[in-house]
Each structure stands twice: as structure tokens, then as C-alpha cells.
Chain A
């Protein structure tokens, strides 16, 4: 009986949370479609999410590209006695998978956490209520700029991460594996087409949506003072990361079935 009631309560809580998420997303989408967004705040968020995240995203992707080239080069040397297909392995893995996923992970930790912490603190200190009483809807004022910034900046950062990562692979390929630069780029060009690039960028757009929805929801709905904000922040990051990894599989499957990057 206790188990049944626990399952029932959990189901009700989940349904309620999903309903609240849906309401928040609907209100945000409606405000965006109606053009009710504030350009200054949106640019501020683009700067915070995109420009400020670039160094860490760049560094992560550079070394990911380098290690991919290193590992694939030495593995292929063992099997084929020469480091072949390094450009294709680095290019395809970065553009289709590692670029979007790692960029999303980095942004989730850096930006997603800060969104939840900021909105959560505003929530527990009644600043969100204060916005209502000052004639401003918190969804329009706080969520809309963050949604827009994430939807635009995450794909841009992913595209940059792809370029930097492939360049990192090039450095290792040429300097350590002694592959001629022309051969490396030829492999990248041959095996990575626009479909693969679009595949990664479309996924990164959805990863951005997952992160901003989770972070804003957790911030808007947390309670319990500083402890509550801390817990909500941790939960936002964990849920975002899990949803990104799970969503990655399903998004990949859908995109491949649609012939995008198959």
C-alpha cells in the first residue's frame, strides 16, 4: 500500500512539474512569437552565454580534437601500420557528436547552473514577486532573453568548437603523427559533408533548449532559502546533462531517419 501511494505521489509530482514546464515554455514561446522581447537584455545574455563561454568551450574542443587524433592515429598505426583516416575520425566524431555534446556539457555546467542560481535567488528573496508588482512579467523579463540567447549561441559555439577541435586534430596529426596537412584536410573534406554539420548543429539547438528550459524551471520553482537554491542548481545541471545524453540518442536517430547526417 505504501509503495502504491509513493508511486502515485511521484506520478502526481512529475505530472505537475511537466505541466508547469509546459506552461512556462508556452508563455515564453508566445512572448517570442509576439515580439515581446527586450533586445538589450537578450544581447546581455548572448554575451554572458556565448562570448563568456567561448574560452572554456574553445579549450575543451581543442584538446578533444587533439586527443581524438592522437588516439585514433596510434590505434590505426597498430592495426594498419600507418595512421590513416585520422581526419575523418576527428571530423565526423567532432561534428556529429563530441562538438555538440561537449559544448552542451560545458555550457550546462557554466551557464545552466548560473541561470538556476540567479533565478532561484531572485525567487527565494521575493524579487520575482517584486517584478510582478512593478508591472513586469518575470517570464518575459528573465526567461525570454535567456531562451533566445541559448537558442542562438549554443549552435554558434558548437560550430566554433567543431572548427577548433578539427584544428586541434590537425596540429597533432601533423606534429606528432607526421601526417601531411593536405591529407588530413582532404580526409575531413571527403568524409564530413554539410548533412553531418547540420546534424550536429540541429542537435545543439535542442540541447540549448533542454538546458535553458531546465535551468529556468528549476530557478523559478525552487524554495527553501540558500539550501533550496543550491539543491535546485545541482538538480538543474544533473537533469540537463542526463536529458542531453538521452536526447542525443533519440535526436540522432530521428535526424538519421530524416536523412540528415546519415
Chain B
């Protein structure tokens, strides 16, 4: 369980989070949706202690992580897998070394059969074990995301955070990633938080969905509740309309 209370964060004069309250239940997949620049990625980086809040508190199970020292925080971080937006694979290492990285540092018990585990995880995300010797620069965008996912789940974490897992992918590859997220959820029974603005993906993979707007969670509910919402902010976002209470700054060409 992850619990967030009154989370605030600013970068310089830009106040990104203005009091977020959110609870992610054990074993569920919660999607955080919202427009670009609303602080979705900032929010999940707080959950794993990559950012420190200006105000507010965060609990992972019973541990409050906001004021932890380096060593204690690392113990909590080890329970998380994180799929980064651009996959964040280590350029200097092969695919196999990338996937094995977390195992070497977090699961020494699996090191004797490292090659086997890497091959297993690659197969789990629908990739051939032979690609283990390739460098990340030799992979397509979709393959990078899948390798990123394999790396995030390799050491069997309790929580997985997905930062825009389908962004930049074609619709078919996006659906492949959605199926992978569902498959990982089913197989490992982890608690997942997914940041996305891809509504098809959100409806498919979520147990609950939360909408972030102007630094606060403005609505939370099951996919059906969100689909049939009367909240004008959420309605505008899920239907993808430019008309409504959410005003974007756009430049018009005359």
C-alpha cells in the first residue's frame, strides 16, 4: 500500500504539486492520468524517493519515506521496479547486462542462474533470449520499453511504477505493452502505478484511475466510473476535447 498526504512540490517558481492526497491499495493497478506537464511523473518519482517533497508525507506500507536516511530509503527503493518513459537502459551495457543489473545488486540468490533468469524475463516480455547480447542502441522503441519492463520485473519487486509506458509507440505495440502490464500483474500480483494520458491503455489495465489537474487529484474511480463521469474536467480529458474547463495555451496560425 502506498499512501500520500498533502504532497506539495515546486521547481523554482513553478508549483507542480499543490496538495496531492492518494492511496494505492495492495495488489491494484492505479492509473494516474492528466495532461502533459501536470506533474504525473513528478508524483511517481516521489513514491520511490527519487524526489523529496516540499510538504506532505508518503508511506510505503508502514514506512514513512519522506524523511528517511540514504540507507533506509534504499531499502524501500529496492522494493520498486520502475519503467521509465524513455526506458532509461544503460547505453554502455548489453540488454542482458541491463536486465541482470538489478538481480546482481538486489537478488544475489538468483545470480548463479543469471543467464537463465534473463532469458526467462525476456521471454516474459515477448522477446527472444538471443537479443541479450545486443546494445540498447540496436533496439527499436518498442523493444526498448519491453527490455525496460524486463529489467523492472527481473528482481521481482513488490511495486512497479510505469511512466508513460505506451507513449511514442504505434497502436499495436501500445496494446502489446498493455497486455504485458496485465500479464505481469497477473503473474506477479504486484501493486502497480501507471502514469499515462493514453485513455485506451488506462481503461484496459486499470483497477482504478485518478486524474491529476493543477497539482491535485480531482477525481478517482473505477474505469467505468471515469468513463461515465459527470465531472466536467474528467469528461473533457477522457473524451479528448479542446472545448471545456481545461484551457490549453495554444498559438493560432492566421
**Which of A126, A135, A136, A137 contacts B84 (CB under 8 A)?**
A126
A135 touching B78 in the complex, CB below 8 Å, given contacts A129-B45, A129-B50: yes
- Tell me the complex Cα distance, A116–B50, Å: 21
Say yes or no: B78 contacts A129, CB within 8 Å: no
Interface string of B120-144 (1 = CB under 8 A from A): 0000000000000000000000000
Interface string of B169-212 (1 = CB under 8 A from A): 00000000000000000000000000000000000000000000
Interface string of B71-103 (1 = CB under 8 A from A): 000100110111011101111000000000110
**Which of A121, A125, A126, A136 contacts B105 (CB under 8 A)?**
A136
- Tell me the complex Cα distance, A126–B84, Å: 7
Say yes or no: B45 contacts A127, CB within 8 Å: no
- Tell me the complex Cα distance, A88–B90, Å: 51
Say yes or no: B50 contacts A132, CB within 8 Å: yes
- Tell me the complex Cα distance, A129–B44, Å: 12
Q: Is A81 an interface residue (CB 8 A)?
A: no
**Which of B74, B91, B151 contacts A135 (CB under 8 A)?**
B74
Say yes or no: B106 contacts A134, CB within 8 Å: yes
Residues of B within 8 A of A134 (CB): 101-102, 105-106, 151, 155
Q: Is A190 an interface residue (CB 8 A)?
A: no
Residues of B within 8 A of A126 (CB): 84-86, 88
- B interface residues, how many (CB within 8 angstroms): 25
Say yes or no: B90 contacts A133, CB within 8 Å: no
Interface string of A127-156 (1 = CB under 8 A from B): 101101111110000000000000000000
Min Cβ gap A123→B in Å is 11
Q: Which chain A residue lies CB-closest to B81? A: A133
Min Cβ gap A12→B in Å is 12
Residues of A97-135 contacting chain B, CB below 8 A? 121-122, 125-127, 129-130, 132-135
Interface centre among B50, B88, B105, B155 (most CB of A within 10 A): B88
Min Cβ gap B13→A in Å is 12
Q: How large is the interface on A (under 10, 10 to 19, 20 to 34, 35 or more residues)?
A: 10 to 19
- Tell me the complex Cα distance, A125–B106, Å: 23
Residues of A within 8 A of B109 (CB): none
Min Cβ gap B190→A in Å is 14
Residues of A within 8 A of B105 (CB): 134-136
Say yes or no: B82 contacts A137, CB within 8 Å: no
- Tell me the complex Cα distance, A134–B151, Å: 9
Q: Is B118 an interface residue (CB 8 A)?
A: no
Say yes or no: A135 contacts B102, CB within 8 Å: yes
Q: Which chain A residue lies CB-closest to B151? A: A134
**Which of B74, B81, B86 contacts A137 (CB under 8 A)?**
B74
- Tell me the complex Cα distance, A129–B163, Å: 12
Q: Which chain B residue lies CB-closest to A129? A: B50
Residues of B within 8 A of A125 (CB): 86, 88
- Tell me the complex Cα distance, A106–B231, Å: 63
- Tell me the complex Cα distance, A122–B136, Å: 13
Interface string of A203-228 (1 = CB under 8 A from B): 00000000000000000000000000
Min Cβ gap A64→B in Å is 34
Min Cβ gap A44→B in Å is 10
Q: Is B17 an interface residue (CB 8 A)?
A: no
Residues of B within 8 A of A137 (CB): 70, 74
Residues of A within 8 A of B45 (CB): 129
Min Cβ gap B192→A in Å is 14
Q: Which chain B residue lies CB-closest to A27? A: B70
**Which of B48, B85, B86, B89 contacts A133 (CB under 8 A)?**
B48
A127 touching B74 in the complex, CB below 8 Å, given contacts A133-B48, A134-B102, A135-B105: no
Say yes or no: A129 contacts B102, CB within 8 Å: no
Residues of B within 8 A of A127 (CB): 88-91
Residues of B within 8 A of A135 (CB): 74, 77-78, 102, 105-106
- Tell me the complex Cα distance, A134–B101, Å: 7
A129 touching B77 in the complex, CB below 8 Å, given contacts A134-B101, A134-B105: no
Give 5 new A-B contacts, CB below 8 A, not counting A127-B89, A132-B74.
A125-B88, A133-B80, A134-B101, A136-B105, A137-B70
**25 A–B contacts, CB within 8 A, in A order:** A121-B91, A122-B91, A125-B88, A126-B84, A126-B86, A126-B88, A127-B88, A129-B45, A129-B50, A129-B84, A129-B88, A130-B82, A130-B84, A130-B90, A132-B49, A132-B50, A132-B77, A133-B80, A133-B81, A133-B152, A134-B102, A135-B78, A135-B102, A135-B106, A136-B101
Residues of A within 8 A of B (CB): 121-122, 125-127, 129-130, 132-137
Residues of B within 8 A of A (CB): 45, 48-50, 70, 74, 77-78, 80-82, 84-86, 88-91, 101-102, 105-106, 151-152, 155
